[in-house]
């Protein structure tokens, strides 16, 4: 279950993040009213996007689901979906609008997810990433994720392989780098 720690509480009202382009994004828990904007972003980014029901189902399961959005005004420009599973977290989706990439929004969503996982006593974080998504792989490696396997044809419609990456959360996560305690 998601703990009622300071970071989780801040997501209730939103965490404002100043971007290097002069704009401010508000990171907060995803709500049902965000799903149309999330779907628009999903369709623009992914060849096989999730459908409304997938996101709605996740939002009804707040005990194990960490779903956040980044919004500017009423526009969803980023989101992530992460699951708490016993003593592990699984990062399912992190997406950022192409117009807002390289501003550390995705990295901030990743960091928040990992911190919530740590405060939930999770020991490991896992994710799958497209084998050719060099930018995402680089981000995950900066955080200490290691490639531990390959999932052949994980993305069935595109016949693309995924790398399975894992991170030991017993390490301290600071500024995109993992340092041993």
Examine the residue annotation and report whether 52 is marked as an active-site residue of this protein: no
How many angstroms separate the CA atoms of 7 and 174, rounded? 15
Beta 88-96 vs 75-85: how paired, if at all? antiparallel
Burial (CB count <10 Å: 0-12, 13-18, 19+), residue 58: buried
Select which of 140, 155, 170, 172 is catalytic. 140
Q: What are phi and psi of 117, to 5 degrees?
A: -60, -45
How many angstroms separate the CA atoms of 91 and 128, rounded? 8
Residue 20 token pair: 């290097």
* Contact assessment for residue 82 and residue 91, using Cβ atoms and an 8 Å cutoff: yes
Select which of 58, 83, 128, 143 is catalytic. 128
Examine the residue annotation and report whether 140 is marked as an active-site residue of this protein: yes
Radius of gyration of the chain from its Cα atoms, rounded to whole angstroms: 15
* Contact assessment for residue 29 and residue 58, using Cβ atoms and an 8 Å cutoff: no
Catalytic positions: 128, 140
């Amino acid at each position: 279950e998601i703990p009622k720690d300071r970071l989780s509480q801040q997501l209730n009202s939103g965490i404002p993040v100043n971007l290097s382009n002069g704009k401010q994004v508000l990171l907060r828990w995803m709500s049902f009213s965000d799903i149309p904007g999330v779907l628009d972003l999903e369709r623009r980014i992914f060849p096989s996007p999730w459908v409304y029901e997938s996101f709605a189902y996740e939002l009804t399961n707040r005990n194990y689901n960490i779903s956040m959005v980044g919004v500017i005004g009423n526009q969803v420009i980023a989101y992530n979906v992460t699951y708490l599973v016993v003593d592990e977290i699984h990062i399912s989706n992190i997406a950022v609008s192409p117009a807002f990439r390289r501003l550390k929004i995705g990295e901030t969503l990743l960091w928040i997810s990992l911190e919530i996982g740590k405060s939930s006593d999770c020991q490991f974080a896992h994710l799958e990433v497209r084998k050719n998504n060099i930018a995402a792989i680089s981000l995950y490696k900066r955080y200490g994720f290691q490639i531990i396997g390959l999932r052949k044809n994980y993305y069935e419609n595109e016949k693309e392989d995924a790398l399975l990456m894992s991170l030991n959360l017993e390490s301290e996560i600071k500024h995109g780098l993992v340092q041993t305690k």
